[in-house]
């Protein structure tokens, strides 16, 4: 396994160097997110190489947010101290559930005790920004078992919580179990009740729901510890993605890398020259015209529950009024109480409480199928 890790990281470094080198300048970077798979399985030396390459090839801002996703069962006190010394300043732990049977259903190898230890060790290592991921809408999960999980997560006093509804993807063991009747399908109504309860409970605990699935605490100077990296996606701003299966959006293009690991390594090692923003592992490039950019902006910005889409921001970005483009859709969604005007000047279009539960129906009005 170590040889594959080394080969993959070497390929990743080559991709970063080639794409960044073809940009014509050292692009400014204010967030880095090491995610996908289990990056906490990487040795510290490999993470150090990745960060050093990013710092060399990009203008990494002094106050950059550097996040690493971690499986609670893969970290140790020494490893977390090492991450902190390398400059990682935000951790995202995939707790998912506090119920052993639910963790087994998800194929997770850790237990809740390991989550408790991981967070404790992270604090001892100096981390002041810890996020925890939870999943609701699981087969067989009751409201009571979900409430138990949320309460156990709150006891860990994280700065950030992400609550994700289960998506059952074809080709996974869970999909096969449901298809063969071995476990029950998730119940949509129950999942909605679980989300509503958790939203209220987290707000009572001092969290702000700043995006449909994400909640953050306010810390010193009233700073909301939202995930700055993911905010790039939700405001439909440019970002680069590196690694097998990575996606990016820059220079009016959406890009996707090959997902097969061996093919990714082969392409990067081959090192064929490309033009920015494509790289050696780019498998798909979709050009985004202005109409599509406006549609996507509505879809992702409306996920921001406090800010939504402001008239002025839309006008500045696209040179045309929000209601000139989407007037009919907005009027309908206001009428059925899925959208509302908010903000001090009442010029921010955002989801209502009901709209958060029916977000996909709202987004469909702007982007279609």
Strand partners, 96: 134
Alpha helices in the chain (DSSP H): 2-21, 44-57, 77-86, 100-105, 112-125, 143-155, 173-179, 188-204, 228-234, 261-270, 290-301, 311-318, 322-335, 353-357, 359-367
- For domain 28-232, is the CATH number 3.40.50.2300? no
Average pLDDT over residues 216-244: 94
The pLDDT value given to residue 175: 47
Round to whole Å and give the CA distance between 302 and 323. 15
Round to whole Å and give the CA distance between 72 and 115. 5
Question: Which residue pairs, CB below 8 angstroms and at least 24 apart, start in 204-210?
Answer: 205/154, 207/161, 208/306, 209/305, 209/306, 210/304, 210/305, 210/306, 210/307
Average pLDDT over residues 277-301: 96
- Sheet of strand 28-34: strand arrangement: 28-34, 59-70, 90-96, 130-136, 160-165, 214-217, 207-211
Domain coordinates in residue numbering, the chain:
28-232, 306-367
pLDDT at 1 over 90: no
Round to whole Å and give the CA distance between 257 and 19. 12
> What pLDDT digit, counting tens, does each position of 187-208 carry?
778 999 999 999 999 999 999 9
pLDDT at 174 over 80: no
pLDDT at 186 over 70: no
Residue 168 pLDDT class (50, 70, 90 cuts): low
Least confident of 111-115, 179-183, 274-278, 283-287: 179-183
Average pLDDT over residues 289-302: 96
pLDDT at 182 over 60: no
The pLDDT value given to residue 322: 97
Round to whole Å and give the CA distance between 323 and 315. 10
The pLDDT value given to residue 188: 79
The pLDDT value given to residue 187: 74
Neighbours of 282 (CB within 10 A): 19
> What pLDDT digit, counting tens, does each position of 315-332 carry?
999 999 999 999 999 999
The pLDDT value given to residue 291: 96
Q: Could you write out the three-class secondary structure of 142-210?
A: CHHHHHHHHHHHHHCCCCEEEEEECCCCCCCHHHHHHHCCCCCCCCHHHHHHHHHHHHHHHHHCCEEEE
The pLDDT value given to residue 26: 95
Quick one: CA torsion of 332, 335, 340, 346, rounded to 10 degrees? 90
Phi then psi for residue 84, to 5 deg, are -65, -40
pTM of the predicted model as reported, rounded to 2 decimal places: 0.92
Q: Calculate what percentage of the chain has a pLDDT beyond 90.
A: 82
> What mean pLDDT, rounded, does the chain reach?
92
Average pLDDT over residues 177-188: 60
Alpha helices in 58-111 (DSSP H): 77-86, 100-105
Look at strands 130-136 and 207-211 and give their pairing: unpaired
Asked if residue 81 lies in contact with residue 87, where contact means CB atoms within 8 angstroms, the answer is no
Output the CA–CA distances (angstroms, integers) from residue 71 to 38, 134, 175, in the order listed: 6, 13, 22
Average pLDDT over residues 158-178: 76
Q: Which residues contact 171 (CB under 8 A, 6 or more apart)?
A: none
Residue 138 pLDDT class (50, 70, 90 cuts): very high
Round to whole Å and give the CA distance between 247 and 259. 10
Neighbours of 67 (CB within 10 A): 22
pLDDT at 287 over 90: yes
Least confident of 5-9, 147-151, 314-318: 5-9
Average pLDDT over residues 287-294: 96
Q: Calculate what percentage of the chain has a pLDDT beyond 70.
A: 94
């Amino acid at each position: 396994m170590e040889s594959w890790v080394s080969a993959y990281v070497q390929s990743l470094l080559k991709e970063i160097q080639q794409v960044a080198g073809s940009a014509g300048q050292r692009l400014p970077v204010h967030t880095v997110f090491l995610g996908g798979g289990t990056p906490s399985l990487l040795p510290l030396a490999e993470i150090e190489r990745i960060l050093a390459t990013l710092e060399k090839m990009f203008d990494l801002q002094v106050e950059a947010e550097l996040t690493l996703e971690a499986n609670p069962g893969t970290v140790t006190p020494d490893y977390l101290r090492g991450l902190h010394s390398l400059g990682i300043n935000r951790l995202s732990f995939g707790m998912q559930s506090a119920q052993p049977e639910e963790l087994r259903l998800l194929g997770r190898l850790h237990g809740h005790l390991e989550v408790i230890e991981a967070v404790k060790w992270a604090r001892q290592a100096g981390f002041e920004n810890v996020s925890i991921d939870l999943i609701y809408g699981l087969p067989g999960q009751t409201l009571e078992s979900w409430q138990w999980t949320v309460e156990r997560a709150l006891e860990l006093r994280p700065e950030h919580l992400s609550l994700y509804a289960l998506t059952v993807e074809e080709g996974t063991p869970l999909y096969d179990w449901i298809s063969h009747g071995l476990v029950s399908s998730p119940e949509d109504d129950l999942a909605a009740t679980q989300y509503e309860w958790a939203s209220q409970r987290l707000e009572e605990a001092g969290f702000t729901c700043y995006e449909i699935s994400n909640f953050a605490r306010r810390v010193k100077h009233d700073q909301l510890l939202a995930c700055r990296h993911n905010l790039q996606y939700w405001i439909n701003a440019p970002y680069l993605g590196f690694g097998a299966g990575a996606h990016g959006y820059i220079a009016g293009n959406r890009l996707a890398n090959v997902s097969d690991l061996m093919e990714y390594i082969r392409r990067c090692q081959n090192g064929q020259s490309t033009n920015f923003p494509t790289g050696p592992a780019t498998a798909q490039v979709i050009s985004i015209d202005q109409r599509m950019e406006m549609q996507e902006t509505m879809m992702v910005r409306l996920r921001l529950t406090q800010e939504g889409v402001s008239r002025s921001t839309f006008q500045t970005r696209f040179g045309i009024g929000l209601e000139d483009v989407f007037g009919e859709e907005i009027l309908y969604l206001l009428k059925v109480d899925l959208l509302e005007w908010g903000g001090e000047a009442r010029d921010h279009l955002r989801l209502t409480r009901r709209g958060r539960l029916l977000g996909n129906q709202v987004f469909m009005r702007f982007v279609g199928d």
